[in-house]
């Protein structure tokens, strides 16, 4: 008698390539948190060298309070966070919810946005409005540039996009509907983002052209955040600042 044919095993669904998975829609909060952590760590370690703390950095102030202003405690907290971060990445990779290979396409995508953004905004300002911004950059070393840019990318996007823009959109949705709420939140958060650079003891003297330039930049970052997520917006901001500070 012929032997019965064995039933074919159910083929497991093929996993999507990390690049395609990254480009498919907006990054979720967990993936963004994983991808943005290197920026956070670079900045938190970099400011130990005396480099300027970002003006909207409330996270470091909280860490300093928790560590009781003790350097050893501060470093232990960062070490614990790094170990926890590595454990989460390993776990999510094992379960198929995250692949470290998504990091490279995210950086490439953010670099593209960062390099074209400044050119587009300058073109709009010079050709349409006849304005050329003169940004106060200062004299910074290469390491200063990296630390300052990482801090701006992480902390400014966290405050002005995730918290402020997201909070405004949530508050306004019931009054105007989701689309108008998002537009209003984008405009208001971008104006406040630009204005913040002229406030406080280290703020720049107010000038119209830089204010308009940063407002447009804020609107660009806000659009990237809304369409692609926190991580892409933060890395776009950081890489753009590296580009601008390196040319100054």
List Cβ neighbours of 30 (8 Å cut-off, separation of 6 or more). Answer: 92, 97, 98
- Residue 41 included in any domain: yes
Neighbours of 134 (CB within 10 A): 10
pTM, full prediction:
0.85
Q: Is residue 88 predicted with pLDDT exceeding 70? A: yes
pLDDT of residue 15: 62
pLDDT of residue 86: 95
- Residue 1 included in any domain: no
State mean pLDDT over 23-36: 86
Question: b/e per residue, 90-102, with b = 16+ CB within 10 A?
Answer: eebeeeeebbeeb
Q: Is residue 1 predicted with pLDDT exceeding 80? A: no
State mean pLDDT over 30-41: 94
Q: Is residue 112 predicted with pLDDT exceeding 50? A: yes
| Rounded Cα gap, residues 26 and 232, in angstroms | 9
Question: b/e per residue, 23-51, with b = 16+ CB within 10 A?
Answer: eeeebeeebbebbbbbbbbbbbebbeeeb
pLDDT digits (tens, 9 = 90+) for 120-157: 877 777 776 666 666 656 667 888 889 999 999 999 99
Dihedral of CA 56/232/164/207: which sign?
positive
User: Looking at the 3D structure of the chain, how many domains does it have?
Assistant: 1
Residue 225, class by beta-carbon neighbours within 10 Å (0-12 exposed, 13-18 middle, 19+ buried)?
buried
CA-to-CA separations, 83 to 40, 73, 88, 90, in angstroms, rounded = 14, 15, 9, 11
- Residue 19 included in any domain: no
List Cβ neighbours of 215 (8 Å cut-off, separation of 6 or more). Answer: 190, 191, 193, 194
- Residue 145 included in any domain: yes
pLDDT digits (tens, 9 = 90+) for 193-237: 999 988 877 778 888 888 988 999 999 999 999 999 999 999 999
- Residue 9 included in any domain: no
- Residue 6 included in any domain: no
- Residue 4 included in any domain: no
pLDDT of residue 12: 45
Q: Which domain holds residue 174?
A: 26-247
> Residues for the chain: how many in total?
248
- Residue 193 included in any domain: yes
Least confident of 70-84, 148-162, 173-187, 191-205: 191-205
DSSP conformation class of 159: I
Confidence of residue 22 (pLDDT cuts 50, 70, 90): low
pLDDT of residue 198: 87
Q: Is residue 6 predicted with pLDDT exceeding 60? A: no
């Amino acid at each position: 008698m012929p032997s019965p044919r064995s039933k074919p095993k159910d083929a497991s669904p093929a996993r999507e390539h990390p690049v395609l998975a990254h480009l498919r829609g907006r990054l979720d909060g967990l993936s963004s948190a994983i991808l943005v952590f290197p920026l956070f760590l670079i900045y938190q370690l970099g400011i130990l060298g005396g480099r300027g703390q970002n003006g909207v950095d409330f996270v470091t102030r909280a860490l300093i309070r928790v560590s009781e202003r003790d350097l050893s405690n501060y470093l232990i907290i960062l070490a614990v966070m790094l170990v926890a971060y590595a454990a989460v990445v390993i776990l999510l990779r094992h379960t198929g919810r995250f692949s470290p290979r998504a990091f490279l396409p995210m950086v490439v995508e953010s670099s593209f946005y960062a390099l074209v953004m400044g050119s587009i905004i300058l073109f709009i300002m010079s050709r349409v409005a006849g304005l050329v911004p003169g940004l106060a950059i200062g004299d910074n070393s290469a390491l200063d540039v990296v630390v300052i840019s990482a801090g701006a990318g992480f902390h400014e996007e966290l405050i002005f996009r995730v918290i402020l823009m997201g909070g405004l959109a949530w508050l306004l949705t019931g009054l105007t509907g989701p689309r108008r709420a998002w537009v209003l939140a984008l405009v208001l958060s971008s104006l406040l983002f630009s204005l913040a650079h002229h406030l406080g003891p280290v703020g720049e003297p107010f000038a119209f052209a830089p204010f308009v330039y940063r407002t447009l930049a804020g609107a660009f970052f806000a659009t990237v955040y809304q369409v692609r997520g926190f991580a892409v917006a933060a890395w776009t901001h950081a890489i753009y600042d590296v580009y601008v500070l390196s040319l100054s």
